[in-house]
Amino acid sequence: MTDSDLVTLRRDLHRKPEPAWREFYTTARIVEELQSRVDLDALHVGPDAIVADQRMGVPDAAELAAWHDRAREAGADPDLLDDLEGGHTGAVAVVERGEGPTVGLRVDIDGLPRPESDDPDHAPAAAGFRSEHEGAMHACGHDAHATIGIGVLERIAESGEGLDGSRSSSEQGSDGDFAGTLKVFFQPAEEVIGGGKSMAKSEHLADVDYLLALHIGLDHPTGEIVAGIDGFLAVRHLDATITGESAHAGGHPEQGRNAVQAMATAVGNLYGIPRHNDGATRVNAGVVEAGSASNVIPEEAYMQVEVRGETTDLMEYMTENAERVLRSAAEMHECDVETEIGAEAPSATSDEELVSIVADAAGRVDGVENVLERDRLGGSEDATYLMREVQQNGGLACYVGVGTDHPGGHHTATFDVDEDSIGHGIETIAGAIERIARDQP
C-alpha cells in the first residue's frame, strides 16, 4: 500500500502537468514536499541542478512566461519561482548517511502537451484530479516518478538514521541501515529528450558510483518488476521548415511553389524509409503546420520529425534517409528546406550486477508477485545520457521497470497508473539502494 500522503502528492502533481522546461509548479511542489518531509543534506534547485546551456528543446520566452505565470497563480512559492525563471527547472536532493558509495536515482517530472480524457471511466476525471491545464496531461506517469523519488529519499533518509541499531525497515525488501550518499535527480524535459544531457553534464553526477532510473507501466501489470531494462532506441529530432512561394490559388496556381505538396510528399516517403536488417527503426512526423489560408498556395510548412534506431548507427541511417527525403521533396516542388537537428539521445544498457541486485530487492517487496530479469523498452529515454556518463566514469547503471495497470496506452488520453505501484517502486528502489551500499562499502 502506498502512503496516503504520497497519493495526495501524486494527484496534486497530476492536476498540474507541465511540459518540458515549464515544470515551475512541479519543481516548487517537489521542493516544498522535500523540505517538509525529508532531512536533506543538500538541495540544488533549478539553475543549480542543471547545466543551462546543455538544455535542448527549450520553448520560447512567451511560452515560458505564460507557464511561469500560471505556476504563480497556482500558489507556488514566488521566491522559488524567481530562481526557475526562463525554464531552469528540476532539482537534485542529497542525503548523506555515513561512509559508503554514492548512489544516484533519476526520476523525470514533466508532462505532455496533450489533452486528458474527461470520460467518467477515466479515474482522474472521476476522482477529481484530472488535469487543470487544458491541453497538457501527465500521460506517461512522471507524476508517479516524482512521487517515487520523494518516497525513496524519505525511506533512505530514515534507513540511514537506523545506523544506531534499530532496523526500521527490515520487512519488505529492505536491508536497512543505509551507509553512503543518495542523490535523487528530479529531471525536467524527458518527453522532449531535452533534459537528460543537462543533468548528465552537471557536477552532481560526477561522483555517482551507481545510478538507478525507473519507469512505471510499459505494459507490465501492477505487481511486476523488470529488474533491468534495455533496448533504448537512440533518437533524434529533426525540425524541418519547407519554404516555397505563395500565390493566389484560384488565379495563378502555377505561380506558387507549394510547401504543402512538398510536405505531403515528404511525409509519405519518410514513413517508407526501408526497414533495416540490423534492427528496429522508427520514424514519426509528429507535428505538421502549414499554410495560411485556403485560397493561398501555401508557402511554408513546418514539421517536427523524429527518427530512432535500436543502435546509434541505425538512428544515423534513419537521419540520413530522412534528410534526403526532405531535401528531394522540397526540390520536387521548387521549395527550400531547412532541417535543424534538435534534441537527441543515445542508447544504453543496464549492467548485470545491478540488475541482479534490483531483482533480488524486488523479490522481497510485498505486492510484487513477478520479477523479470530483463525486458526491452522499445522507446527512447534521455536517462541514457546519465547512465552512459556514470558508466564512462567507471560506475554502473540500471533502468528499472515498475509494473502498473494502466487502462490507456502511454501518451494517450486515458493513461493512468495504479497507485499501489508507487509503493512497489519505492520499496524496490530503496531496497536495491540499501543492498548496493551494503555490498559495496
- The annotated binding site for Mn(2+) is made up of 140, 142, 191, 215, 411
Q: Of 82-141, which residues contact a second copy (CB under 8 A)?
A: 112-114, 140
Contacting a second copy within 374-403 (CB under 8 A): 377-380
Interface with a second copy (CB under 8 A), residue from 312, 332, 370, 439: 332
| H or E stretch covering 240 | strand 234-243
- Rank residues 345 and 397 by Cβ distance to a second copy and give the closer one: 345
Single out the residue of 54, 243, 328, 391 in contact with a second copy (rule: CB under 8 A).
328
Ranges within 54-83 binding a second copy (CB under 8 A):
none
Q: Which residues of 221-237 are buried (b: 16+ CB within 10 A; e: fewer)?
A: ebbbbbbbbbbbbbbbb
Residues tagged in the binding site annotation: 140, 142, 191, 215, 411
How far is 149 from 167, CA to CA, in rounded Å?
22
Distance of CA 64 to the CA centre of its chain: 19
Give bridge partners of residue 223 from the DSSP assignment. Answer: none
Distance of CA 291 to the CA centre of its chain: 32
Q: How far apart are CA 127 and CA 234, in angstroms?
A: 38
Alpha carbon distance 332, 360 (integer Å): 58
* Binding status of residue 282 toward a second copy by CB under 8 A: yes
Q: Which of residues 213-272 bind a second copy (CB under 8 A)?
A: 218, 233, 235, 237, 245-256, 258, 260-261, 263-265, 267-269, 271-272
Least gap, CB of 162 to a second copy (angstroms)? 39
CB of 408 to a second copy, least distance (A): 9
Stretch that binds a second copy, among 280-288, 351-359, 361-369, 397-405 (CB under 8 A): 280-288
Q: Would you give the end-to-end CA distance of the chain in angstroms? A: 31
List C-alpha distances in Å: 142 to 11, 32, 217, 238.
11, 18, 11, 25
If one asks whether residue 275 binds a second copy (CB under 8 A), the answer comes out as: yes
Segment near a second copy (CB under 8 A), from 6-14, 124-132, 404-412, 427-435? 404-412
Assign 3-class secondary structure to 350-418: CCHHHHHHHHHHHHCCCCCCEEEEEEECCCCCCHHHHHHHHHHCCCEEEEEEECCCCCCCCCCCCCCCC
> Of 157-216, which residues contact a second copy (CB under 8 A)?
191-192
Residue (204 or 257) nearer to a second copy, CB: 257
Least Å from the CB of residue 212 to a second copy: 21
**Which residue lies nearer to a second copy by CB, 99 or 278?**
278
The site for a second copy, by CB under 8 A, has a size of 80
- CB atoms inside a 10 Å sphere around CB 254: 7
Q: CA 255 to CA 247: how far, in whole Å?
A: 6
Contact with a second copy (CB under 8 A): which of 154, 306, 344, 382? 306
d(CA 40, CA 97): 10
Judged by CB, which is closer to a second copy: 351, or 381? 381
305 binding a second copy? (CB under 8 A): yes
Q: Which cell numbers in the block locate residue 134? A: 487544458
Task: For a second copy, give the closer residue by CB, 176 or 256.
Answer: 256
Please report whether residue 288 would count as binding a second copy according to CB under 8 A.
yes
